[in-house]
Chains A and B, each alone.
Chain A
């Protein structure tokens, strides 16, 4: 199965810090596909479902986040993650 890719510019004021990281990881875990996150189109990649690794990327404001995903719900996963970042990590229901 091929990996699909997406990228999104993150405008969140403090970057990918604690709260945004928790939201992103929780959302990634809702999908069964393998999902990686990177700060460049060529990686290095970290598991988007690992809160420790996502938080450790310390992506600053105005960085572009790259995703790649592989699996049955890969497209839906990337759409949801890009929306989360685009909408500036809104509070969930």
Chain B
């Protein structure tokens, strides 16, 4: 079990999600548990609650999981996925209000130092224009 907060990337596009995950792995490293998902089951654009839940499971850490999302449904489906988690995990997963690619790299850099979920989320959200 990792001592670092996990990062989940949720995009409408599988290519964007996979590419973002590759950037995190290559720029930050593999010490941060990582999950990603994108696209609908037919191979088109979209997001799915089931896929997001599976991605949270892959990135699971006892310290929690920070989710980075792109647009609209990615956010609402991520919130729905969090609500459907077991109660013991629900309070340790957050959706960050940050751009997906930049936020994922920033959040992972923070997470790699062993920071708490709250600090990881704040670092990703530091990027958001006011």
Contacts and interface: CB of A to CB of B under 8 A. Distances in A.
B64 to A, nearest CB: 18
A26 B28 contact: yes
Q: How large is the interface on B (under 10, 10 to 19, 20 to 34, 35 or more residues)?
A: 10 to 19
B106 A52 contact: yes
B109 A25 contact: yes
B66 to A, nearest CB: 14
Contacts of B29: 26, 92
Interface residues of A, number: 12
B123 A51 contact: yes
Given A29-B113, A51-B110, A22 B123 contact: no
Interface in A74-92: 92
B16 interface: no
Nearest to B124: A52
Interface of B: 27-29, 105-106, 109-110, 112-113, 123, 126-127
A19 B27 contact: yes
29 contacts: A18-B27, A18-B105, A19-B27, A22-B27, A22-B28, A22-B105, A22-B109, A25-B109, A26-B28, A26-B29, A26-B109, A26-B112, A26-B113, A29-B112, A29-B113, A30-B113, A49-B113, A50-B123, A50-B126, A51-B105, A51-B106, A51-B109, A51-B110, A51-B123, A52-B106, A52-B123, A52-B126, A52-B127, A92-B29
Interface string A28-66: 011000000000000000000111100000000000000
B102 to A, nearest CB: 9
A84 to B, nearest CB: 15
